[in-house]
């Protein structure tokens, strides 16, 4: 059925995104995703010992995020 195929392939195209769905998607993102760029800049400046401490904190935060989710 061509109409069914078209409807299935293009479902949702051109429609406005649901604000609640966007909000849910944003809440699922890691809080750490927002600092990845700054973390890259820090890696070039901080000492190895400082980076080990930062990495330990980041791992702990990731574990907390997984526990909460």
Supply the pTM of this predicted model. 0.56
- Per-10-residue mean pLDDT of the chain, 69 residues long, equals 83 74 77 81 90 93 86
CA-based nearest residue to 51, from 40, 61, 37, 62: 40
* CA separation for the pair 39, 41 (Å, rounded): 5
The pLDDT of residue 47 is 94
The pLDDT of residue 68 is 83
């Amino acid at each position: 059925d061509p109409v069914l195929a078209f409807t299935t392939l293009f479902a949702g195209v051109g429609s406005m995104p649901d604000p609640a769905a966007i909000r849910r998607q944003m809440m699922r993102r890691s809080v750490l995703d927002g600092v990845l760029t700054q973390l890259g800049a820090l890696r070039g400046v901080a000492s190895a010992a400082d980076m080990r401490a930062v990495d330990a904190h980041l791992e702990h935060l990731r574990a907390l995020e997984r526990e909460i989710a």
